């Protein structure tokens, strides 16, 4: 059942777009082309007629086809299995690379890469086109092509972009994996994905230390009989084994490729055929294989990034994320489709300098920045002088996703990074479909809020019966309309797909997040609906508790979880990362009192404990279900995505202490 919304309340507007920003916005141009007067009217028409909307979207983006589609949308198999661009033939590479041939953009920078050691490499669209074609030529020599799954374990190098593009160019399906995975995680995904080949690197740097990637891959492949070929990029000489006949150096495989890119054709593919397979971790069971198509993922990504959040061809676009998470492919395919310059960085946002992310923005004149709220919270501990020294004037738009903001982190980012002039746009969705809710540059901003739904998703907030709830009431976030970017199911698991997303409410995609709308029509996300805490008969979300904890100024990070309690049913435990120099005993009392003062005595935490760090993925997303499982001594599910698995033992030690 829905509950009265308690967090965050309708804050004052902190930023308004000027007339020039509104007139120049991609969203304004799109609505003007369609003859639509206003964002709400656009959403209403898109919800009522999704075929009209998506056809207009494809035409506005000039998304190209080798053969035009007969119908943009076919719902003959039901909403969960919508078919898009029926009868059309296309390829994502036609639209991201080939379309720029013969234009001035072909000579402009497509990728700018910086290594941990400060080395900078720039590839133009022509350079990327050439490298993509050379590898595609080599893959075809190995007998790889239509429908073949090719795994990828590569750090953020320019070659990672070329590898994804080359696999798609020959009609294959790229399976990107986190470059820091251990052997077991790689084995599971390669076998589940039925991969025929793998692209990797000999070694790379991670926080200043050489990482022998090829040896980890070799260990994984001992249990992967289906993988027939391994392509190895020579990047950082590290000791590793070699299997003759199976292993191929990238540079040797591509050595005989023709110089003329036109001699390496792009494979025409049925528009709704898959080119991208992303495994996303589940709370229980095996990771889920999310399937994205040639016409679906790029069109939806361009809708999210370019039309809603105003990515433009002259932007320099940085979003530090491994290619094994959806943000990596969004950065590459979305950025290149728009014609922007993608900025890639090896390693972490806080190494080798704690303020490295902001140095990257300054050095490469980044105008369009993506980040997770966790990255902002980590930067809040930087000395004020460190940020004052950075020239961040190139920033035009900041976008954020991955988890709900706390108000203090949102305001800090808006004020200290954006200097109150740069819109900080919230963006929420998932690996399965990209964005559901978005900010825009034509709407005013409130802290932690969204302007509204991404058009074409039919986003709504409903009660337990699927009925829309009123403003100020929290309910389940759902989609009423299948969007073109929605996964084409789960890889070889139709029933799990239906059970996971479509079984709770008839004909509705249930996303698993709590959300609400305020009286001004702005939207809020309050965290996962299965994270809701019910204390002594009263319900709240963890984000409310965490906001109160962070407002004390004593913490770098905080996470609230619910644990069984014989009296209340559920009790609150706060697992916190303290700021340096904090007296933990005194801080625990202050933090406990802050929660009780903010929400009432019934919500006073049963325990407040301190740990060095919270478990997080490489793209900085905090893992609440891992914290709860570690505290309760339960099996935590899939841990392969964690960048700091040692944090689990620290939580268990804190619980026992």
HEC string for 210-253: EECHHHHHHHHHCCCCCCCEEEEECCCCCCCCCCCCCEEEHHHH
> What is d(CA 429, CA 232) in angstroms, rounded to the nearest whole number?
34
> What is d(CA 524, CA 547) in angstroms, rounded to the nearest whole number?
14
Q: 258 and 285 in one domain?
A: no
Instruction: Tell me what pLDDT residue 625 has.
Output: 82
Burial of 563 (0-12, 13-18, 19+ CB in 10 A): middle
- Which of 394, 444, 344 shows the shortest CA–CA distance to 120? 344
> What is d(CA 622, CA 376) in angstroms, rounded to the nearest whole number?
13
Domain assignment present for 148:
yes
Q: 456 and 425 in one domain?
A: yes
> What is d(CA 501, CA 495) in angstroms, rounded to the nearest whole number?
10
Length of the chain: 657
Q: 432 and 289 in one domain?
A: yes
Q: What CA–CA distances, in Å, run from 531 to 192, 543, 627, 650?
A: 29, 10, 12, 22
- pTM score: 0.85
Q: 74 and 216 in one domain?
A: no
Instruction: Tell me what pLDDT residue 404 has.
Output: 77
- Which of 88, 92, 91, 27 shows the shortest CA–CA distance to 298? 92
Q: 575 and 490 in one domain?
A: no
Domain assignment present for 389:
no
> What is d(CA 26, CA 39) in angstroms, rounded to the nearest whole number?
12
Domain assignment present for 245:
yes
> What is d(CA 366, CA 528) in angstroms, rounded to the nearest whole number?
32
Q: 13 and 127 in one domain?
A: no
CB 516 within 8 A of CB 476: no
> What is d(CA 456, CA 522) in angstroms, rounded to the nearest whole number?
18
CB 46 within 8 A of CB 27: no
For 638, phi then psi, to 5°, come to -70, 120
Q: 518 and 407 in one domain?
A: yes
Q: 568 and 469 in one domain?
A: no
- Which of 98, 467, 78, 433 shows the shortest CA–CA distance to 291? 433
The CA R_g of the chain, rounded to the nearest whole Å, is 24
DSSP letters of 460-523? Answer: EEE-TTSPBPPTTEEEEEEESS--TTS-SSBTT-HHHHIIIIISSSTT-EEEEEEEEE-TTS-E
End-of-domain residue from the set 528, 548, 578: 528
**207 is in which domain, residue-wise?**
122-270
End-of-domain residue from the set 475, 507, 528: 528
Q: 441 and 514 in one domain?
A: yes
CATH of the domain at 51: 3.40.50.12780
Residues linked to residue 575 through DSSP beta bridges, in sequence order:
559, 609
CB 446 within 8 A of CB 14: yes
* Domain count within the chain: 3
Which of the residues in the chain have pLDDT under 70?
A: 1-11, 281-285, 530-532, 534-541, 567-568, 618-620
Domain assignment present for 550:
yes
Q: 417 and 282 in one domain?
A: yes
Instruction: Tell me what pLDDT residue 537 has.
Output: 54
Residues 6+ apart with CB under 8 A from 127: 110
Domain assignment present for 323:
no
Strand blocks (E) in 115-171: 120-124, 149-152
Q: 188 and 296 in one domain?
A: no
Q: Which two tokens stand for residue 141?
A: 């020599």
CATH of the domain at 563: 3.30.300.30
CATH of the domain at 236: 3.40.50.980
CB 162 within 8 A of CB 135: yes
Burial of 38 (0-12, 13-18, 19+ CB in 10 A): exposed
> What is d(CA 398, CA 405) in angstroms, rounded to the nearest whole number?
14
Q: Which two tokens stand for residue 117?
A: 């050691």
Domain assignment present for 63:
yes
End-of-domain residue from the set 485, 510, 528: 528
Burial of 645 (0-12, 13-18, 19+ CB in 10 A): middle
| Tally of CB atoms within 10 A around 2 | 18
Estimate to the nearest angstrom the gap between the alpha carbon of 99 and the chain centroid. 26
Domain assignment present for 324:
no
Residues linked to residue 398 through DSSP beta bridges, in sequence order:
369, 424
Q: Is the previous residue joined to 522 through a cis bond, with omega within 30 degrees of 0?
A: no
Q: 533 and 522 in one domain?
A: no
Instruction: Tell me what pLDDT residue 653 has.
Output: 93
> What is d(CA 160, CA 81) in angstroms, rounded to the nearest whole number?
31
CB 213 within 8 A of CB 198: no
Domain assignment present for 486:
yes
């Amino acid at each position: 059942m829905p509950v009265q919304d308690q967090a965050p309340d309708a804050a004052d507007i902190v930023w308004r777009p000027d007339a020039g920003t509104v007139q120049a916005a991609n969203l304004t141009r799109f609505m003007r082309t369609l003859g639509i007067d206003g964002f709400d009217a656009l959403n209403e028409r898109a919800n009522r007629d999704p075929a009209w909307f998506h056809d207009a979207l494809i035409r506005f983006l000039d998304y190209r086809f080798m053969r035009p589609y007969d119908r943009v949308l076919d719902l003959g198999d039901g909403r969960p299995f919508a078919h898009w661009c029926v009868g059309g033939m296309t390829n994502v590479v036609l639209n991201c690379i080939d379309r720029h041939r013969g234009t001035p953009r072909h000579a402009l920078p497509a990728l700018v890469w910086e290594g941990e050691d400060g080395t900078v490499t720039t590839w133009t669209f022509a350079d990327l086109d050439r490298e993509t074609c050379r590898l595609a030529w080599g893959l075809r020599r190995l007998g790889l092509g239509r429908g073949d799954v090719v795994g990828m374990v590569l750090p953020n190098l320019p070659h990672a972009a070329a590898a994804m593009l080359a696999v798609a160019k020959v009609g294959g399906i790229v399976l990107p994996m986190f470059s820091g995975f251990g052997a077991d995680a790689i084995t599971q995904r390669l076998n589940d994905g039925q991969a025929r080949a793998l692209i990797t690197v000999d070694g790379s740097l991670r926080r200043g230390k050489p990482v022998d990637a090829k040896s980890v891959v070799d260990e994984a492949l001992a249990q992967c009989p289906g993988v027939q070929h391994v392509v190895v990029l020579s990047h950082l000489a590290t000791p590793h084994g070699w299997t003759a006949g199976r292993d191929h150096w990238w540079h040797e495989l591509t050595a005989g490729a023709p110089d003329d890119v036109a001699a390496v054709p792009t494979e025409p593919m049925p528009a709704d055929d898959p080119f991208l397979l992303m495994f996303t971790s589940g709370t229980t069971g095996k990771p889920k294989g999310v399937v994205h198509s040639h016409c679906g993922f790029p069109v939806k990504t361009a809708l999210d990034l370019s039309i809603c959040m105003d990515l433009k061809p002259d932007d320099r676009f940085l979003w530090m994320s491994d290619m094994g998470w959806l943000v990596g492919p969004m950065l590459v395919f979305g950025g290149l489709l728009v014609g922007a310059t993608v900025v890639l960085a090896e390693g972490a946002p806080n190494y080798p300098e704690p303020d490295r992310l902001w140095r990257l923005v300054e050095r490469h004149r980044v105008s369009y920045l993506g980040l997770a709220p966790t990255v902002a919270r980590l930067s809040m501990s930087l000395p004020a002088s460190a940020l004052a020294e950075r020239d961040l004037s190139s920033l035009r738009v900041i976008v954020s996703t991955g988890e709900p903001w706390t108000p203090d982190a949102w305001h800090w980012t808006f004020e200290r990074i954006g200097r109150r002039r740069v819109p900080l746009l919230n963006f929420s969705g998932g690996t399965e479909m990209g964005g559901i809710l978005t900010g825009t540059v034509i709407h005013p901003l409130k802290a932690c809020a969204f302007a509204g739904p991404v058009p074409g998703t039919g986003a709504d907030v409903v009660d337990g019966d699927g009925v829309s709830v009123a403003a100020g009431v929290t309910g389940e976030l759902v989609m009423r309309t299948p969007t073109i970017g929605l996964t084409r199911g789960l890889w070889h698991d139709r029933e799990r797909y239906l059970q996971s997303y479509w079984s709770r409410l008839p004909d509705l995609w249930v996303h698993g997040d709590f959300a609400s709308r305020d009286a001004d029509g702005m939207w809020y996300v309050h965290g996962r609906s299965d994270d809701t805490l019910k204390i002594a008969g009263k319900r709240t979300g963890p984000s409310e508790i965490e906001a109160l904890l962070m407002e004390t100024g004593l913490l770098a990070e905080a996470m609230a979880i619910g644990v069984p309690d014989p009296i209340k049913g559920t009790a609150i435990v706060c697992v916190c990362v303290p700021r340096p120099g904090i007296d933990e005993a005194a801080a625990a009392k202050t933090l406990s009192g802050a929660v009780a003062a903010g929400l009432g005595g019934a919500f006073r935490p049963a325990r407040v404990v301190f740990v060095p760090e919270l478990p997080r993925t490489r793209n900085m997303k905090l893992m609440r279900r891992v914290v709860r499982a570690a505290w309760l001594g339960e099996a935590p599910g899939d841990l392969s995505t964690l960048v700091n698995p040692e944090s689990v033992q620290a939580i268990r030690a804190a619980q026992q202490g």
